[in-house]
């Protein structure tokens, strides 16, 4: 395949670039792009992010792959990638919509009824309302179907009780999508129901979780007798697993390769600018060897990504091979960050954007990449997926699959 822009893509790139030049500041060469790893953003930054999204929406540059009826442009993934490549060169507010637009919007399109689609999707695209994902629990992450947050029917409402954790952006979100256990007598995957929940409803309590880098991008969310109308149910009663799978399939595509490969040029710049044994670090053969290794892996990832994109452009749907990008990319990003900090010598231990080389990019990346290796499927889970669904190796033994959930042995007294 050819990795150059086609004439149509080149024309689209020029149009996107021209709009961005009119509406944003081009980041000068050498200025490092911010490394968004989930700081607890100020209300001011959130409002700027919302206003930028609304401007893009109003002028036809938001949710490019979504159908026009939902405020999108009905374009292909290749155009969306071209747009992201160009937008990344400009100094624009952080993207707070990765979960909403990447995962929850497509879930609403696939499973929402007409009323739900009309009520929520365009507003989600316009960006003044933000959405979060309420799936993981203290005892249910990789094994998501083991979740215990309960939903009990009460007339036209459901009453939700339980605890969710690692909920990214819940503190600035207006709505969340939650998977609950509505029938503990049904088998593990069959007793789940999926809802849209108002994050400002009485009984929703959001507590920040402090991360290793000092930021608090995610939260614990407690639900105490939270009433949700039945009209907020997405999919049938007991059909929550099927709906959740749609969200998870889109999650892998949305997370992608974890960002390390795109930072190779920053690493090269650091190696050129850092002195080691009286000369530029890049002149040291061991540094050059390591850089060559990172370059080869980065390029492998980039071209694997292009191959997926070409397949999608031909009409294929995202498949399990999408797990390869994150399985390789997230560890690569972590290794690159570790190497960059080593190059910096004693300054490698300083995480302060005002004095650290490249504004502390590598320190933040080093502290953030372990989270990327966990979020949206851990390394081991991704390897299981590749083993079972790409290489067709024998599956893991799942003894609890068909038993009523209530009867599955647990270390906790709760059922
Ligand atoms: C930065 C970040 C953002 C997140 N954002 C959200 C969010 O917005 N909403 C949300 O709902 N959740 C979110 N999560 C949670 C995330 O989905 C879970 O952390 C993840 O699914 C892993 O679950 P766990 O933490 O419970 O770990 P566990 O599932 O308990 O895993 C612990 C260890 O056991 C291994 N393991 C588990 N099962 C197997 C197996 N079958 N075979 C081999 N090894 C296995 C794992 O690989 C891991 O090393 C986020 C997490 C992070 C780090």
Task: Find the helix packing angle between 240-255 and 323-343, rounded to 10°.
Answer: 40
CB of residue 220 inside a 6 A radius of ligand 1: no
Cα four-point dihedral sign 308, 103, 134, 153: negative
Residue 394 lies in a domain: no
Residue 353 lies in a domain: yes
CB of residue 374 inside a 6 A radius of ligand 1: yes
- 242 and 275 share one domain: no
- 145 and 89 share one domain: no
Burial (CB < 10 A; 0-12, 13-18, 19+), residue 77, is middle
In ligand 1, the atom with minimum distance to the C-alpha of 368 is 1
Residue 266 lies in a domain: yes
In whole numbers, what is the pLDDT of the chain averaged over residues? 89
Residue 120 lies in a domain: no
Q: Pick the most confident of 232-241, 349-358, 389-398.
A: 232-241
CATH number, domain of 354, equals: 1.20.140.10
Averaged pLDDT for residues 388-398: 89
In ligand 1, the atom with minimum distance to the C-alpha of 144 is 21
Answer left, alpha or beta for residue 377, where phi above 0 means left and psi between -120 and 50 means alpha.
Answer: left
- 59 and 92 share one domain: yes
In ligand 1, the atom with minimum distance to the C-alpha of 370 is 53
Q: How does pLDDT run across 301-326, given as a tens digit for each residue?
A: 888 887 777 777 776 666 666 778 88
Output the residue whose Cα is nearest ligand 1's atom 51. 375
Q: How many domains does the chain have?
A: 3
Residue 298 lies in a domain: yes
- 262 and 233 share one domain: no
Catalytic residues: 251
Domain boundary among 247, 264, 290: 247
CATH number, domain of 202, equals: 2.40.110.10
Q: How does pLDDT run across 113-165, given as a tens digit for each residue?
A: 999 999 999 999 999 999 999 999 999 999 999 999 999 999 999 999 999 99
pTM of whole model > 0.85?
Answer: yes
Averaged pLDDT for residues 63-76: 94
Name the more confident of 413 and 211. Answer: 211
Task: Give me the domain span that covers residue 182.
Answer: 131-247
Among the listed residues 324, 340, 311, 318, the one whose alpha carbon sits nearest the alpha carbon of residue 257: 324
CB of residue 211 inside a 6 A radius of ligand 1: no
Residue 1 lies in a domain: no
How far does residue 383's CA lie from ligand 1's centre (Å)?
14
Residue 216 lies in a domain: yes
Task: Give the pairing type, strands 131-134 and 90-91.
Answer: unpaired
CB of residue 168 inside a 6 A radius of ligand 1: yes
Tell me what pLDDT residue 320 has. Answer: 67
Tell me what pLDDT residue 3 has. Answer: 58
- 234 and 262 share one domain: no
CATH number, domain of 39, equals: 1.10.540
- 86 and 140 share one domain: no
Asked if the model's pLDDT at residue 37 lies above 50, the reply is: no
Residue 372 lies in a domain: yes
């Amino acid at each position: 395949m050819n990795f150059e822009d086609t004439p149509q893509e080149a024309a689209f790139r020029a149009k996107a670039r021209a709009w961005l030049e009119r509406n944003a500041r081009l980041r000068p060469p050498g200025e490092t792009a911010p490394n968004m790893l989930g700081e607890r953003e100020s209300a001011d930054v959130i409002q700027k992010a919302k206003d930028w999204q609304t401007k893009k929406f109003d002028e036809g540059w938001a949710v490019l792959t979504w159908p026009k009826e939902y405020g999108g442009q009905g374009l292909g993934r290749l155009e969306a990638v071209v747009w992201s490549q160009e937008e990344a060169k400009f100094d624009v507010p952080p993207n707070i919509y990765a979960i909403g637009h990447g995962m929850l919007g497509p879930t609403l399109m696939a499973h929402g009824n007409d009323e739900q689609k009309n009520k929520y999707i365009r507003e989600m695209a316009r960006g003044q309302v933000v959405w979060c994902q309420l799936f993981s629990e203290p005892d249910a992450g990789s094994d998501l179907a083991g979740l215990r947050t309960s939903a009990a029917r009460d007339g036209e409402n459901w009453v939700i009780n339980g605890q969710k954790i690692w909920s990214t952006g819940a503190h600035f979100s207006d709505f969340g999508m939650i998977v609950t256990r509505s029938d503990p007598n049904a088998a593990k995957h069959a007793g789940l129901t999926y809802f849209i929940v108002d994050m400002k409803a009485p009984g929703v309590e959001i507590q920040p979780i402090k991360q290793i880098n000092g930021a608090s991008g995610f939260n614990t969310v407690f639900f105490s007798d939270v009433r949700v109308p039945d009209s907020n149910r997405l999919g049938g009663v007991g059909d929550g697993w099927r709906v959740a799978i749609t969200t998870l399939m889109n999650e892998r595509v949305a997370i992608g390769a974890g960002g390390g490969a795109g930072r190779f040029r920053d690493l090269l710049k650091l190696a050129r600018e850092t002195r080691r044994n009286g000369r530029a670090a890049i002149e040291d053969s061991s540094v050059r060897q390591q850089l060559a290794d990172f370059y080869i892996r980065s390029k492998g990832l980039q071209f694997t990504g292009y191959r997926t994109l070409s397949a999608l452009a031909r009409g294929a749907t995202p498949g399990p091979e999408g797990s390869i990008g994150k399985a390789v990319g997230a560890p690569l990003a972590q290794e690159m960050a570790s190497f960059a900090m080593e190059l910096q010598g004693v300054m490698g231990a300083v995480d302060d954007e005002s004095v650290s080389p490249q504004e502390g990019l590598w320190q933040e990346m080093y502290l953030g990449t372990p989270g990327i290796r966990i979020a949206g499927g851990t390394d081991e889970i991704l390897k299981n997926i590749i083993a079972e669904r790409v290489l067709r190796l024998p599956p893991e033994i799942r003894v609890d699959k068909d038993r009523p959930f209530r009867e599955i042995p647990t270390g906790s007294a709760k059922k």
